[in-house]
Structure 1
Amino acid sequence: MDDTTRGIRIRRGGPADAPAVLNMLDSAVIWMNARGNTEQWGTTPFSEKPGGVEMVDRYLTENLPYIAELDGTPAAALVLDSGPAPQAPIAAAGEPERYVRLLVSDRRFAGRHLGSALLAHAVEETRRAGVQLLRVDCWAGGDGELVAFYERHGFTATETFLSGTWPGQVLAQRIG
């Protein structure tokens, strides 16, 4: 998919994208921490977290990863899960779904609407698969800015949950 109005090209990702996705995650942690947000993803870069590299490898091999490129440079990533329902504390949907496991952008490309382009791509991939439900969960802390981001993209808040002390929000979008 190309979003020529913004110069974004979305392609299927894979294991070779792991270094770029780790860099995106690390840049996001640094950016969030600089803004005072140490709760969402913590303070340790994913490339240094126990299990962080393995998580990215799993996401890129066991799921449906997509990479948004700008001028051939990986700038953002989205990972869709088409497998079994999310695990506790998130309730199963009770129907086929696509689930956004990860949405992250390289902070060097902030303001380019890469997340919006990838979410639109997730909607199209869900529709193409004949699935009518797309869900995501996110950090519900702080000022609720992340929940509001997903709501602006057509998602509706459904259930809240706690993972330890981490407040989460599940959001859903019906695909027609």
Structure 2
Amino acid sequence: MDDTTSGIQIRRGGPADAPAVLDMLDSAVLWMNDRGNTEQWGTTPFSELPQGPELVDRYLTENLPYIAEVDGTPAATLVLDSGPNPKSPIAPAKEPERYVRLLVTHRRFAGQELGSALLAHAVEETRRAGVGLLRVDCWAGGGGELVAYYERHGFTSTETFLAGTWPGQVLAQRVG
């Protein structure tokens, strides 16, 4: 995808993007913590978590990663999979699906609608694959702001879950 009006280009990601994705995640943790949100992703930057770099490597090699670039600089990422994490409390759908495993924007690119562009790309990739269902799960705490974000992008809340004490929400979107 090339969005020439905003200078956004979306491309397939890969292992070479790991440092940029870790930087995106670290910036998000810092930003959330500065706003008082220490529950969603904790307080430790992803790059310093024992499993952080390994998780990012798996996202970039075992899934379908997409990178949104602004003027050639990696600025946001979305990772698609064929279902939720098997270790999560979320059941796979009873039909083929695409599942958003990660969506994050580097905070210095906040407000440029990169998440919106990546979600639209995920819808198109799901449609192109001949799959009719796109799902995502997210943190349901903090007044539900993240849930509302996905609802504004065409998702409908379907089920809630707890991962330990972490409140989550699954959302779905039919792709025709």
TM-score, with length taken from structure 1: 0.97
Match of 1:112, SS state, is coil
Q: What is the aligned partner in structure 1 of residue 129 from structure 2?
A: 129
Q: What is the aligned partner in structure 2 of residue 44 from structure 1?
A: 44
Distance of 2:76 and 2:54 partners within structure 1: 19
Q: What is the aligned partner in structure 2 of residue 171 from structure 1?
A: 171
Distance of 2:149 and 2:133 partners within structure 1: 18
CA shift digits 1:41-90 (9 cap, x unpaired)? 000000001200000000000000000000100000000002x5543410
Alignment of 1:91-110 (within 5 A): 91-110=91-110
Number of equivalences: 175
Match of 1:100, SS state, is strand
Match of 2:46, SS state, is coil
User: What is the CA RMSD across the aligned residues, in angstroms?
Assistant: 0.8
Residues 78, 102 of structure 2: 8 Å contact kept: yes
Q: What is the aligned partner in structure 2 of residue 28 from structure 1?
A: 28
Quote the sequence identity (%): 84
Alignment of 1:64-79 (within 5 A): 64-79=64-79
Distance of 1:151 and 1:69 partners within structure 2: 25
Give unmatched runs, 5+ long, in structure 1.
none
Letter in structure 1 aligned against 2:32: M
CA shift digits 1:114-169 (9 cap, x unpaired)? 00000000000000000000000000001110000000000000000000000000
Match of 2:48, SS state, is coil
Letter in structure 1 aligned against 2:114: L
Does 1:7 find its partner at 2:7? yes
Letter in structure 1 aligned against 2:62: E
CA shift digits 1:14-37 (9 cap, x unpaired)? 000000000000000000000000
Distance of 1:151 and 1:105 partners within structure 2: 18
Runs (4+) of structure 1 exceeding 3 A deviation are none
Distance of 1:29 and 1:76 partners within structure 2: 14
Give unmatched runs, 5+ long, in structure 2.
none
TM-score, with length taken from structure 2: 0.97
Distance of 1:4 and 1:120 partners within structure 2: 16
Match of 2:47, SS state, is coil
Distance of 2:19 and 2:75 partners within structure 1: 12
Letter in structure 2 aligned against 1:116: S
Distance of 1:64 and 1:25 partners within structure 2: 18
Q: What is the aligned partner in structure 1 of residue 139 from structure 2?
A: 139
